[in-house]
Amino acid sequence: MFNTLTDSFTNAIKKIRFHDDEKALTKALDELKKNLLKADVNHKVVKELLAKVQLDTKAKGIGKEQFLEALRIGLYELLEIGGSKGFIFASNPPTVILMSGLQGSGKTTTTGKLALYLKNKQKRVLVVAADLQRLAAVEQLRQITAQIGIELYEQENCSNPVEVVTQALKYARSKIYDVVLIDTAGRLAIDHELMNELEAVKKVANPNEIFYVADSLTGQDAIKTATTFKEKIGIDGVILSKYDGDSKGGIALGLSSQVQVPLRFIGSGEKMEDLEVFIPERVVNRLMGFGDIEGLAEKTASAIDQVAAKKLTKKIQKGQFNFNDFLEQMESMKKMGSMSSIMGMIPGMGNMSKAIKDFDFENSSELKNIKAMVSSMTKKEREDPELLNNSRKQRIAVGCGLTQVEINRMIKQFKNAGKMAKKFSGPKGMKDLQALMGQMGGAGAIPR
């Protein structure tokens, strides 16, 4: 997700890696300036960041470590501007959140993503369809909420969003919901009618927070429109949508400082699970190539049942990992979001996320073939892969439309994966895994 920006810092660090004089520092800063501007970071933001990095590096003595530390601190101070904060819930539920943004920004999809995020935090969420301007908005919310198992409040034959929100809040209080997410109308551009409608909805909703959804693909224009929304109706935070599709990514660096509100979430993919909390310390670590172990742990905890995980670990240690276990783990991995996002959180593995950017658990042809193969097995065969002799493999191949050669290859891969899992689940497993990760990702990591 931060590949372009991380490459910018990597290229700059190379300029100072083996030298410790002012000439090397100048080259590193010039390289950083060139790459940040190319990544669509605002020129004022770039100028301020470089000035601070230069001053701090010189104060501590020019060198690679000093430059890295100055850059890390400069980035953190830049990203925390606007008052970074966690999610705050009202003491008297429901917590009301107003979702705002221009038409086409991904506001409705982001509302669904945020609803799922809150559901995974064990919150009862009600989504309110108050965008009555765009004909497809309500239907889109119906499909999204049905997909993620969230209740939708809508009123047919009603064209007044204020009335919809008023009744929705009464309903939410009577049913004791924790959070109410209100999807409001957008326009192709900011106009008085839009702002007047938002003001009216805001007045009756009395929201605890107002989020502005900004389309990353619009670059610096997203900052301008976010600033206008802040001035007109007041916003408490920005959510960047479609960030995975932004090849430059520089908007994330300057948004908080320019709009003076915190960047709260980033849409990191197309799936409902692909919404990440924006925490400056963690983002800086990822930008510098150091990964985000805390974020990865949170993703894992939300996707994997801990009791089931302990049972699975015992099965792996005993060499009893079977095809049913494999399919269950694939379903859990899907809940964690895009594979490239996960890889970017592992220290030293950021570069690998580029290679697998388009990998999709649901649409991977290899995983589809594995699922087809397993579906053609009997219950006993799934539970005990050792039963799979030639005649059984032939029957399975016919049943799933694959060749026996493909069946043999996938079964061999499965057995090898089981052996590796057993090795890593042992007492020295974590050390072995760290060593393997170091061999795979060490060459692409930023030197510390």
The domain 3-79: what is its CATH number?
1.20.120.140
Say whether 410 sits in a helix, a strand or coil: helix
CATH 3.40.50.10280 fits 295-444, yes or no: no
Does the structure show a pLDDT above 90 at 119? yes
The top-scoring range by mean pLDDT among 13-27, 323-337, 391-405 is 391-405
Sort strands 151-153 and 179-183 into parallel, antiparallel or unpaired: unpaired
**pLDDT score of 159:** 86
Of residues 216 and 428, more confidently modeled: 216
Q: Would you say 286 and 6 are in contact if contact means Cβ atoms under 8 Å apart? A: yes
214-269 pLDDT per residue, tens? 888 887 888 888 888 898 889 999 998 988 765 566 787 878 888 888 889 988 88
Every domain of the chain and the residues it spans: 3-79, 95-288, 295-444
* Rounded average pLDDT over 129-133: 90
C-alpha 177/C-alpha 133 separation (Å) is 26
* Rounded average pLDDT over 282-310: 62
Listing DSSP states for 15-45 in one string gives HHTT--SHHHHHHHHHHHHHHHHHTT--HHH
CATH 3.90.190.20 fits 95-288, yes or no: no
* Rounded average pLDDT over 136-155: 94
374-393 pLDDT per residue, tens? 989 999 998 888 899 999 99
The share of the chain scoring above pLDDT 90, in percent, equals: 28
Say whether 125 sits in a helix, a strand or coil: strand
40-99 pLDDT per residue, tens? 888 888 999 999 999 998 888 888 888 888 988 888 888 887 555 667 788 888 999 999
- pTM metric for this prediction: 0.66
Query: For 178, left (φ over 0), alpha (ψ -120 to 50), or beta?
Result: alpha
Q: Would you say 105 and 215 are in contact if contact means Cβ atoms under 8 Å apart? A: yes
